[in-house]
A and B are shown apart, each in its own frame.
Chain A
């Protein structure tokens, strides 16, 4: 089957629409490729770059194992589904990992579908000014089914995730709020949405497993705000989650989602600070490149191009994203 006649050769189409697709070719006339050729040759002759340590497969394996150890197989799967889109999608293309076209497709195309998992080690809460005491909680089976919300916003919404059956969940240390027992902070987003109004963990029977539900309710509230595009409203919601549940089941995802929301909400200074903090925090190993790029992009938008350039220079390997940072810095000079 040779296919339909191309519109370019179809006089009916041209008559009906007054559109000649052949006109578009004029935009490509005189394409000068000499400089690009030099770039290509220079890139090829540059010293070889070691393979990326976080190819899709290896990331899934390493992080998956770590998450399994901490939270059980079910939560590992959930975590793999729920990582912030931005950082998952920003997984750099490892040229070393690109083999046949099939491999390219698998590595490049499948990235947003197979959301990259995050490392399992818990991130200590940093934003909570209150002193927390802790107690050991044995989670009980959660009645909530594992689900993914259908909402997906173009360009980066994460999807809410829920923990797996708690029978597979290891014991975790949960904080007890020393303030306002029984009621958590109910931040209000810029859109006016009340983003969290749930019982605080300290006011919940720690043994009946409802604490897990409370945690998920707070987290879901934040993610739903994010999924609906209310990034400004999601920021205080994620902060509320992190403050209430430092070291919670999804604190790593919440940290990454918070970074995404800060950037999307245009709070570039806070996004830069968040990226810097995560780069120093435990549990984000293997995400240095993505976090560094987000930090660099935030710095550009703060008109701090020299710092952004220093970051991408330190990253070494060039790709389209680092090139975009360099290009934008050059344009702004």
Chain B
């Protein structure tokens, strides 16, 4: 796919949908930003941090536009960059965020509107809270497999680990999630 680009600085050359060509960075953003923001929110628990990270993903993609391998899986590449930036974010800002959190109450973002099912929103937050309790490695696999619906093979490529490691981490993550869910949700609230 090739498009006209009045602003050369935005042009990124790598494949989309298996067809090599030049893609406007705006188009690239439209095609990939939503799931990247979503997965970064799920991994960081913060929309603001997720947006910062996604911005870095696209800036990185743009700067490395000449080095990207044609016909590579762009989605996997973007996921990999995003996940690694999330890891970096956790390390570099963890201490500062702990202190910031100490001094503020972070109100939960809740969808607004008359049709919003309050109970469902609460349960959604409960899921997110339980995911946040997983270890970083388990959380990555759990989010990518259970919430993003990515295949095990692609997860192994995104995380740079063996497929068997993906499954073992998923098994542990499920176990930990279930324990945390039971603890928070209450064992007597369901059959």
Q: Please report A residues at the B interface, Cβ cutoff 8 Å.
A: 1-4, 6-8, 15-21, 23-31, 33, 36-37, 39-41, 43-45, 86, 89-93, 95-96, 98-102, 104-105, 108-109, 111-112, 155-156, 263-264, 266, 297, 300-301, 318-321, 323-324, 327-328, 331
Q: Are A320 and B49 also in contact (CB < 8 A) when A26-B121, A108-B84, A108-B88 are?
A: yes
Not counting A23-B127, A99-B64, a sample of 12 additional A-B residue pairs whose C-beta atoms are within 8 angstroms of each other reads A18-B189, A18-B190, A26-B124, A27-B41, A30-B111, A36-B37, A40-B25, A40-B58, A98-B64, A105-B160, A109-B87, A263-B95
User: A261: shortest Cβ distance to chain B, in Å?
Assistant: 12
B42 — which chain A residues lie within 8 A by C-beta? 24
Whether A39 and B55, one on each chain, are in contact in the complex, defined by CB atoms closer than 8 angstroms, is yes
Whether A37 and B33, one on each chain, are in contact in the complex, defined by CB atoms closer than 8 angstroms, is yes
Whether B85 and A93, one on each chain, are in contact in the complex, defined by CB atoms closer than 8 angstroms, is yes
User: B7: shortest Cβ distance to chain A, in Å?
Assistant: 7
Whether A44 and B67, one on each chain, are in contact in the complex, defined by CB atoms closer than 8 angstroms, is no
**Separation of A290 and B28 alpha carbons in the complex (Å):** 32
Q: Are A95 and B160 also in contact (CB < 8 A) when A320-B89, A324-B97, A328-B100 are?
A: no
Whether A27 and B191, one on each chain, are in contact in the complex, defined by CB atoms closer than 8 angstroms, is no
Q: Are A104 and B91 also in contact (CB < 8 A) when A26-B121, A37-B33, A319-B56 are?
A: no
**Separation of A24 and B167 alpha carbons in the complex (Å):** 22
Counted as pairs of residues, one from A and one from B, with CB atoms less than 8 Å apart, the total is 200
User: A282: shortest Cβ distance to chain B, in Å?
Assistant: 25
Contact mask for chain B residues 47-75; partner A; CB cutoff 8 A; 1 contact, 0 none: 01101111110111011100111000000
Q: Please report B residues at the A interface, Cβ cutoff 8 Å.
A: 7, 9-10, 25-26, 29-30, 33-34, 37-38, 41-42, 48-49, 51-56, 58-60, 62-64, 67-69, 77, 80-81, 84-85, 87-89, 91-100, 103-104, 109, 111, 116-117, 120-121, 123-125, 127-128, 131, 145-147, 149, 151-152, 160, 163, 167, 170, 174, 178, 181-182, 185, 189-191
Whether B49 and A23, one on each chain, are in contact in the complex, defined by CB atoms closer than 8 angstroms, is no
Whether A101 and B77, one on each chain, are in contact in the complex, defined by CB atoms closer than 8 angstroms, is yes
Q: Are A324 and B49 also in contact (CB < 8 A) when A93-B85, A112-B91 are?
A: yes
**Separation of A331 and B100 alpha carbons in the complex (Å):** 11
